[in-house]
Amino acid sequence: MKRKRLLVFGVIALVLAAPCVFYFSGAYDRWQDERSLADICRGSVDTSEVKELLGVDRLRGHDVEVEGGANPHAGQLRKCSVGDPEGRAWLSAAMDWSSDAAGALHDFGGFEPYGDAGMAIPLGRGWEGVMDEGRSGDDLVAMVNMPCTNHRRDPQRSSLIVTVKGQAVHSIEENAQRVRFARTTVKTAENAARAWGCEAHPGGPIDRVSNNTAHTKVPQGEARGTCAGITTAVRESATDPRAPIENCYLLSDSGKSHYRVSSFYGPFVQALAAQSGYEDELDPGKPAGRKGSSTWATAECPSGGKALYIVTGLPDEEDRFAPDGQLELSALKTFATRSAERHGCTGLKLP
């Protein structure tokens, strides 16, 4: 009888101890991690690749089906994020149909009329994508537009747009890290296209990306990228015929941005007009014109859509504008002419 009681007590002790062992051995945490990462963003995010990118051993995921996500004609589909449980590093991804390109543009950087929206550095290798440093300077952001050949006649779903942001434990601005981030972004875009039934033609493997030129001043007359042909001192990026967004900043004598000249292609043409503040800066119904502190032009592109080229005056150190109409129009004409030619667009209409 005594041995039987000891046996019963022993079994009870094992039953009570097993959860403690499971918890304190780390098995419980690993189980929670794996559960949270299961099929995140419908399997679009390769979590093993993200671990290498972020430099962490563990990842915990959060998957959100946003409002309207069950509706295949809704704009935004899903957002998800993965990160180190300690909060040291993270990566987020958002998937949008072309009908919500304004949301993707906002996630990428906003493009407020009077702000410095970054450089939109092209991913290259045949991808309709751009990347930049995030607003904090410690993170990166990239956006890829995936035209869907099976939805060409559906303006709501003519393309799938994937926006990825991330911050690693170590410096994500090192060039090797920027390459890893670009590769993670395009792989996520490919996976998302399959998951949401977008038949797209992906670009090639990314083995290098252009340097970050967000803070690099190019002396007067030496521009060779997006600002080529503009004679003032500038900040510019490399060019690519498939880049859906391009930026060029004209600098004042003090080195502060005086004008921003930008181009938008594909779904981002209409998306810009939907950004906060542009109701006073842009008239989407006119092919060219001037309104507020902005002047714009358009062209017809091989895809059948329009391209938008816009120059916007930026405030100085004292939040004042110092317009130079001749410089503004000259920069817009030079920038738009070169960008349209690069993208195969014709019929440029200038104000």
Confidence grade of residue 125 (pLDDT, cut at 50, 70, 90):
very high
Tens of pLDDT, residue by residue over 48-88, are 788 888 888 888 888 876 545 444 444 457 789 898 888 88
Mean of pLDDT values over 93-98:
94
State residue 291 phi and psi, 5-degree precision. -155, 135
Query: What does the DSSP assignment read for 295-312?
Result: EEEEEE-TTSSEEEEEEE
Tens of pLDDT, residue by residue over 136-164, are 667 899 999 999 999 888 888 999 999 99
Say what the pLDDT of residue 245 is: 97
Rounded to the nearest 10 degrees, the angle between the axes of helix 27-37 and helix 2-24 is 50
Residue with more model confidence, 59 or 226: 226
Reference 274, options 119, 85, 3, 75; nearest CA is 75
| Tokens at 327, concatenated | 């410089």
Tens of pLDDT, residue by residue over 239-270, are 999 999 999 999 988 888 989 999 999 999 99
32/88 Cα distance (integer angstroms): 18
Tens of pLDDT, residue by residue over 158-184, are 999 999 999 886 665 678 889 999 999
Residue with more model confidence, 29 or 183: 183
**Is 246 in a helix, a strand, or coil?**
strand
Say what the pLDDT of residue 117 is: 72
Say what the pLDDT of residue 192 is: 95
Return the C-alpha torsion angle 16, 21, 22, 23, nearest 10: 100
Say what the pLDDT of residue 70 is: 42
Whole-structure pTM value: 0.86
Pairing of strands 90-97, 257-264: unpaired
Residue with more model confidence, 15 or 40: 40
Say what the pLDDT of residue 259 is: 93
- Structural domain boundaries of the chain? 39-210, 216-351
